Structure 1
Amino acid sequence: MAEKAEELRVLICQGTGGLASGAQAVEDAFRAEFEKHGVEGKVGKRCTVVGTGCRGLCANDVLVDICIPGQEAVTYDFVKPELVTQIVEEHILKGEVVAKKKAGPYYNKFLEKQMRVVFSRCGTIDAESLDDFLAHEGFTGIKKAVKMKPQEVIDEVKKSGLRGRGGGGFPTGVKWGFCAASPGDDKYLICNADEGDPGAFMDRSILEGDPYGLIEGMMIAAYAIGCKNGYVYVRAEYPLAIQRLQKAIDVCYEKGFLGKDCMGLGFDFDLKIKAGAGAFVCGEETALMASIEGERGMPRPRPPFPAVRGLWTKPTNINNVETFANVSFIFYKGADWYSSIGTEGTKGTKIFALTGKIKHTGLVEVPAGITMREVIYDVCGGILNNRKFKAVQAGGPSGGCLPGEAIDAQVDYDSLIKAGAMMGSGGLVVMDETTCMVDIARFFLNFTRAESCGKCVPCRIGLKNMLDILERITEGHGREGDIELLEDMCVDIKKASLCGLGQTAPNPVLSTIRYFRDEYEAHIKDQRCPSNSCKALLKFEVIEEACKKCGLCYKICPVDAIKWEKGEVAIIDKEKCTECTSCYDACRFMAIE
């Protein structure tokens, strides 16, 4: 440990977001500058450049931490290769922080109310290094678990209060108990990494930033239920996640952590990756199993449930990435510690992916029970351009839209369901006053309709008919009775659909009608979109009394359709206007109708 304290470490975010922003070039620049200046030996005995997993504040990539022995780590954001020379020469060699390039106060605010448990290693260790993982409690959880009887392991998970993080929130220990109690020596364990919600990338970031943590969680589950074979079902659109997880699995086999007599602990467990083609419906566990078996990914009737008759007709347990990642920490620190976090009905932390009209998009991990207001305003900085918060879509396409008055709702399973949404896998899409809620319902329904496997009539035909109605409304052709018809169809489709996709697909429509019925009525009765979002209903006129004469609309117009002079109200030339809405998006004063 003394040697570690004398090590200079440069931590570079190299999740998918970081690499897309140029993290590899930044790493190359640091290595070149270290060699050029002979840094090793001058600042610490060793100098290590580490590619980490996602740091969370994805909108500010590339994020870099400079960790000099005996000093507090300093974070830089928006780092480009050309900035590296200055960081090395001024900060690392001279000890003078490049203040203008350092991450601002918002970065500390971003972390202040978070509680990074599952993400504790993401962004701090080399995601591909087994040694780094072992140095941060790695595989101590499985060592503790095997000293207990399998039923005691299940009881410990029950005691922790962990609920599945994949959407439904079913108690994890109870689920394990069902599979363990099923007769038979051949059982399967599946990790569902088929993360298909628009804007969600929590599981991907865990796989990229802490793949060994997932493996350990699955080993504990395998020991508990008496299983020798496991699969990680991950969508092929996650190449970096697959690459890092496969490397971790290969290293574990090489070191004896997987396979026969894992770690010499007396149990066998084999693990492999199954890459899926990216069908949203394969997030449903029976469709996922059909895909692994080589069949078309379509859901099967339940019962029998997977715990009794699952993969290849054998008892099977399925949890998602975040659930398994939590398991390790329950055994590092104990069930009592874990259950002390969160609310009575939702224990532990929850990871959310925040997108939409928000200042700091990215991933956050917060204790269950924190309010939506704290997540949006305290952690993520509030609404973009300081506009008014209107709604948040919680739970992805299967969730619901919560209005401004529900912003103080607690973020836990029971509170969100009561408010008309759901926790889901953890996607939060934030909307401001420029967002049309009818169009949002249309967007999410279009997604689920396209992703429906078509096996059952309510989902295949019902969602298409609902989408037709919503498209008519957003185009100004809504009819009296459309709202009531949509409500009736939502109820019927939820009741009659075969799987969770159809059973939850109407939720965005129901929640927007519940909270924003006036917007539906304005579209139908007045052929007007209150948010000025539906193109077919836009007038493209400047509201003279609202115009601040700033010229932002004039500067952004791609076809020079706006006439404006300093101190004058802007005028839109409708003959030139292509109705692209660039002016409307640019105007901070809602002065364009």
Structure 2
Amino acid sequence: MKIENRTELKEYRTECQKRQRAKCRVLICGGTGCLAGGSDKIYQKMLELTKNDGNVSVEFGAEIAHTKVMKSGCHGFCEMGPLVRIEPHNYLYIKVSPDDCEEIYQKTICEGKSIERLLYHMDGQVYASQEEIPFYAKQTRLVLKNCGHIDADHIEGAMVVGAYSALEKALFEMTPESVIDMIYESNLRGRGGAGFRTGRKWKQVASQKEKIRYVVCNGDEGDPGAFMDRSIMEGDPHRMIEGMMIAAYAVQAQEGYIYVRAEYPLAIQRLETAIHQAEEIGILGDHILGTNFSFRLHINRGAGAFVCGEGSALTASIEGKRGMPRVKPPRTVQQGLWAKPTVLNNVETYANVPMIIQNGAEWYLGIGTPESPGTKAFALTGNVRNTGLIEVPMGITLREVIYDIGGGIQNGKKFKAVQIGGPSGGCLTEKQLDSKMDFDSLAKIGAMIGSGGLVIMDENTCMVEVARFFMSFTQRESCGKCVPCREGTKRMLEILERIVAGNGKPTDIDELRELADMIESTALCGLGKSAPKPVISTLNAFAEEYREHIEDKKCKTGVCTNLRQFQIDLDICKGCSKCARNCPAGAIEGELKSPYHINQEKCIKCGACMEQCPFKAISVAR
């Protein structure tokens, strides 16, 4: 069917609501993480078990399915996957396997009872419903509201929760100018990292004399450990598409492009399905809902270059050229895709647009902070008890995220630092745990939100190695166009590799700072300018660790293999000789039944002795 006017859209939404009604809904996480853990087998097994429950009954004149089994998008609690949510009870079953399916069917679907061993447990407490789990209870899920709660493969599920109602409002109740004004007044800032005001960008495109304009979505998301945009594309693709359509209406564009990493095959598949379904019913295409507005969407697969997250490199890649940044001005809003005015925002930014149009700028300004309103999605990873995808109001503190939502540091370890903003961000320490997480507050302390990566590190993390890891990434991903980034990052990486190998020089710290200053001042694009941030932030906060590596030739965490020093606790050693017998260098000396000792000159730092000691008498010297 083709929806040709506003009335038919309302009728279609009503039909979707009727068809989606069910006494019991089984939502099996179909996000990339849970699929990797075998959720597809769980989905097939539940379909098989409930095949006779697909019949309908009539209640108050409406047909209601007994059981609906659906594949949802990411629920967010990735560490606990595969995840299964059972409604209307709102049970969230964690770490489910196909072997659990029959018990779920018999006890929960048929009898309505929970299975306690599959529920989330923390500090002796069992959480019966998903909403009670601290990981979810402390969040404000707006952009991610539907992820994990609707069928990610069918437009009907999105329609039931209001998809395209904001587009309907924009087309029939607002002018393009009033749409832009509302986005501007809401102070929505780009969620891709720079935090540029979205309404201002749209105004600049709309004011250009050139009438051929484009809307582009940056779904490249290249930061290590980041998967916010991927989860939106996989779990609620119609929300992002609707945001792009509203942007297109606002600036009077007729063509849009979604640039997605080729490493996101499931996101691409879900987007292709969503676009096809929207075209089939007439939401996308010519004369949408009987209006003069026409819009078509295309998907471009990126080759995985980190630099293609930069606007001018991204548009060059769509055009079939090598993805490399160019000198600005002109900016993308003036000459972007095919040298035409272009609105370029990331997935999360577009996903915010429909709810702003639906609820108004004032509503949006009531969330977060005045200068950074709304929420932000973060990928919470590293040495924290609860990892996964979270969404919180702007202005929340790091302490709240790490301890209230993340559950604190794993294994009772002490918090050491958090890398925020990916390779372009910086490290924050315990002194900054109460810092507010918004664009301006983080900028004041030398960090940035970036796309939303949060890597938590405990006391056993070597900060010099962390700096080396991120510099290795940015150096490898440098496009090579400008000398400061191409050669400067290479030189910084060489110095860091020398330090962690135990060959650091007294002049290395000064040289790292000089190189960082040069790159920040002269690199061509924003990615190059921010490349030294992890090094500078770790140098500022953990200077003593650098000095230990360089002067004392010691890594107290034991991470840097060449700088480890093993020691034997004479009070624990029983003289069994197992360590000496397994040492490949013959570095452990002593007599049977008497404490042994390690000859540091012979020791090759392999750690075989510590692995073999049955009494745990051997440790890394701190």
- Map Cα deviations across residues 211-238 of structure 1 (whole Å, 9 max, x no partner): 1111100000001111111100001000
- Measured in 2, the distance between the counterparts of 1:406 and 1:505 equals 22
Query: CA RMSD of the aligned region, Å?
Result: 3.0
**Does the 8 Å contact 1:339/1:348 carry over to 2?**
yes
CA contact (8 A) 1:583 1:592 kept: no
Aligned-pair distance for 1:38? 5.0
Deviations 1:525-564 (A, max 9, x none): 111113221111001334567x899xxx99xx999x99xx
Task: Select which of 69, 81, 91 maps to 1:61.
Answer: 81
TM-score normalised by length of structure 1: 0.92
Letter in 2 for 1:239: P
1:91 aligned onto 2:88: no
Which one of the candidate residues 112, 130, 145 is aligned to 2:155? 130
The 5 A counterparts of 1:217-366 are 217-366=243-392
Structure 2 residue aligned with 1:9: 25
**How far, CA to CA, are the matches of 2:290 and 2:205 in structure 1?**
25
Distance in 1 of aligned mates of 2:66 and 2:570: 64
In 2 relative to 1, CA 476–305 (structure 1 residues): closer, same or farther, beyond 3 Å?
same
Matched-pair contact (CA < 8 Å) for 2:20–2:156: no
Point out where structure 2 has 5 or more consecutive residues left out of the alignment: 1-16, 59-63, 589-593
Q: Is 1:21 aligned to 2:46, yes or no?
A: no
CA separation of 1:227 and 1:589: change in aligned 2, threshold 3 A: farther
Specify the code of the residue in structure 1 equivalent to 2:165: T
- Residues 60 and 583 from structure 1, CA distance in 2 versus in 1: closer, same or farther, beyond 3 angstroms? farther
1:49 to 69, 84, 87: 69
- The residue that corresponds to 2:487 in the other structure is 461
Amino acid at match of 2:307: V
Distance change (3 Å), C-alpha of 1:514 and 1:285: same
2:409 aligns with one of 366, 380, 383: 383
Deviations 1:1-54 (A, max 9, x none): 68866521001111001110111100111122223x758569974211010000
Q: For residue 101 of structure 1, report the CA deviation from its aligned partner.
A: 1.7
| Structure 1 partner of 2:118 | 101
One of 441, 444, 456 as aligned partner of 1:430: 456
Secondary structure of 1:169's partner?
coil
Q: Deviations over 1:238-274 (max 9, x none)?
A: 0000000011111111111111112223201111000
| Paired residues of 1:330 and 1:338 also in contact (CA < 8 A) | yes
Q: 1:346 to 1:580 in 2, by over 3 A?
A: farther
Q: Which residue of 1 aligns with 2:204?
A: 178
Deviation, 1:579, is 3.5
Give the Cα–Cα distance (whole angstroms) in 2 for the partners of residues 324 and 283 of structure 1. 16
Conserved in 1, the CA contact under 8 Å of 2:243 and 2:351?
A: yes
**Per-residue deviation at 1:428?**
0.5
Letter paired with 2:397: T
> Out of 79, 82, 87, which is 2:96 matched to?
79
Contact 1:385 1:588 in 2 (8 A): no
CA separation of 1:150 and 1:102: change in aligned 2, threshold 3 A: same
Q: 1:155·1:173 contact (CA, 8 Å) conserved in 2?
A: yes
AA in 1 matched with 2:537:
S
Provide closer, same or farther for how the CA distance between residues 305 and 512 of structure 1 changes in structure 2, counting only shifts above 3 A. same
Q: Per the alignment, in what secondary structure is the counterpart of residue 531 of structure 1? A: coil
2:606 alignment partner, one of 551, 562, 578: 578
Shift of 1:581: 11
Q: Equivalent residue of 2:324, what SS? A: coil
SS in 2 for 1:138: coil
The corresponding residue for 2:620 is 592
Distance change >3 Å, CA 51–CA 493, structure 1 → 2:
same
Q: SS at the partner of 1:203?
A: helix
Q: Distance in 1 between matches of 2:143 and 2:278?
A: 20
- 1:310 Cα offset (Å): 1.2
In structure 2, do the counterparts of structure 1 residues 487 and 140 end up closer, same or farther at CA, with 3 Å as the change threshold?
same
CA shift at 1:580, angstroms? 7.7
Equivalent position of 1:565 in the other structure: none
Cα displacement (A) at 1:383: 0.9
SS state of the match for residue 127, structure 1? coil
2:42–2:98: 8 Å Cα contact kept in structure 1? yes
Encode CA deviations 1:360-410: one digit per residue, 9 max, x unaligned.
111000011111011111101111111000000000000000011111111
On the 8 A contact 1:30/1:84 being kept in 2, the answer is yes
Is the CA contact (8 Å cut-off) linking 2:148 and 2:235 kept in structure 1? yes
- CA distance, structure 2, for counterparts of residue 224 and residue 31 of structure 1: 43
State how far apart, in whole Å, the 1-side matches of 2:326 and 2:609 are: 44
Q: 1:334, CA displacement in angstroms?
A: 1.5
Native 8 Å contact 2:26 2:84 kept in 1: yes
Amino acid of the structure 1 residue aligned with 2:90? A
Distance between the aligned counterparts of 1:558 and 1:212, measured in 2?
Answer: 60
Structure 1 runs not aligned, ≥5 long: 563-567
Relative to structure 1, the CA distance from residue 591 to residue 304 in structure 2 (aligned partners, 3 Å threshold; closer, same or farther) is same
1:535 maps to which of 561, 570, 577? 561
Distance 2:485 2:253 in 1: 35
CA–CA distance in structure 2, aligned partners of residues 388 and 548 of structure 1: 28
Per-residue deviation, 1:61: 0.6
Q: Which moved more, 1:377-386 or 1:165-174?
A: 377-386
Cα distance 1:136–1:583, how it changes in 2: closer, same or farther (>3 A)? Answer: farther
Alignment-mate amino acid for residue 606 of structure 2: T
Q: Alpha carbons of 1:569 and 1:191: their partners in 2 closer, same or farther (altered >3 Å)?
A: farther
Amino acid at match of 2:168: K
Shift in CA distance, 293/399, structure 1 to aligned 2, threshold 3 Å: same
C-alpha spacing 1:39/1:321, structure 2 compared with 1 (3 Å): closer
Q: CA deviation at 1:578?
A: 3.4
1:30 matched to which residue of 2? 46
What SS is found at the alignment partner of 2:185? helix
Deviations for 1:35-93, whole angstroms, at most 9, x for unmatched residues?
Answer: 3x75856997421101000000101111111114xxx3211100000011111112222
Is the Cα–Cα contact under 8 Å of residues 261 and 267 in structure 1 kept in the other structure? yes
- Cα gap change, 1:286 to 1:89, in 2 (>3 Å): same
Using the size of structure 2 for normalisation, the TM-score is: 0.88
Instruction: Give the Cα separation in 2 of the matches to 1:3 and 1:251.
Output: 17
Report SS of the residue matched to 1:501.
Answer: helix
The answer to whether the 8 Å contact 2:556/2:620 transfers is no
Task: Report the counterpart of residue 498 of structure 2 in structure 1.
Answer: 472
CA displacement, residues 302-348 of structure 1 (integer Å, 9 cap, x when unaligned)? 00001111111111110000000000111122111111000121100
1:116 matches 2:141 = yes
Percent identical pairs in the alignment equals 48
Distance in 1 separating the partners of 2:57 and 2:95: 27
Aligned residue type for 1:61: G
Name the SS of the counterpart of 1:541 in structure 2: strand
The verdict on how the C-alpha distance between 1:390 and 1:2 changes in structure 2, with shifts beyond 3 A counting, is same
In the alignment, the residues of structure 2 paired with residue 576 and residue 206 of structure 1 have an alpha-carbon distance, to the nearest angstrom, of: 48
**In structure 2, distance between residues paired with 1:386 and 1:589:** 21
Classify 1:569/1:395 alpha carbon distance in 2 versus 1 (closer, same or farther; 3 Å): farther
| Whole-angstrom distance in 1 between the partners of 2:309 and 2:514 | 27
Q: CA deviation at 1:572?
A: 8.7
1:139 counterpart = 2:164:
yes
Distance of 1:572 and 1:359 partners within structure 2: 36
After TM superposition, give the deviation of residue 103 of structure 1 in Å: 2.3
